[in-house]
Amino acid sequence: MGTDPETVRDVFASHYFLFAFLASLGTLQIAVANSGTRGLWLTPRRLVNRWLGVVLILAGIGLFFLMPLWIEGPWADGSVQADSITREWGQARWDELAGARNVNDIHGGLDGTKQAIWFPLTAILAFAVSAVIGALNIRILNRNEIATSEARSSPKEGGLAGLEKHSYFATFLVSIREFWAEIAGVWRTGLQAADRWSLFKMIFGRSSN
Q: Supply the pLDDT for residue 199.
A: 55
Residue numbers in the chain where pLDDT is lower than 70? 1-3, 141-158, 179, 186-188, 190-209
Distance CA 3, CA 11 (A): 12
Q: Supply the pLDDT for residue 82.
A: 75
Distance CA 73, CA 67 (A): 10
DSSP, collapsed to helix, strand or coil, labels residue 30 as helix
Instruction: Label residue 67 left, alpha or beta by phi (over 0 means left) and psi (-120 to 50 means alpha).
Output: alpha
Distance CA 109, CA 118 (A): 13
Q: Are residues 72 and 129 in the same domain?
A: yes
Q: Are residues 55 and 18 in the same domain?
A: yes
Q: Are residues 48 and 120 in the same domain?
A: yes
Q: Is 184 exposed, middle or buried (0-12, 13-18, 19+ CB in 10 A)?
A: exposed
Q: Are residues 94 and 178 in the same domain?
A: no
Q: Does 23 fall in a domain?
A: yes
Q: Are residues 166 and 96 in the same domain?
A: no
Q: Are residues 48 and 101 in the same domain?
A: yes
- pTM of the complete model: 0.78
Q: Does 150 fall in a domain?
A: no
Q: Does 92 fall in a domain?
A: yes
User: Do residues 124 and 29 make contact, with C-beta atoms less than 8 angstroms apart?
Assistant: no
Q: Are residues 187 and 103 in the same domain?
A: no
Q: Does 136 fall in a domain?
A: yes
Our count of domains for the chain comes to 2
Q: Supply the pLDDT for residue 113.
A: 85
Q: Does 26 fall in a domain?
A: yes
What range defines the domain where residue 118 resides? 5-143
Q: Supply the pLDDT for residue 181.
A: 76
Q: Supply the pLDDT for residue 151.
A: 47
Q: Supply the pLDDT for residue 98.
A: 83
Instruction: List phi, psi (to 5°) of 73.
Output: -170, -165
Distances (CA, A) of 133 to 1, 7, 115, 156, 167: 43, 34, 27, 22, 9
Q: Does 100 fall in a domain?
A: yes
Q: Does 203 fall in a domain?
A: no
Distances (CA, A) of 186 to 150, 163, 176, 183, 195: 29, 21, 15, 5, 14
Q: Does 79 fall in a domain?
A: yes
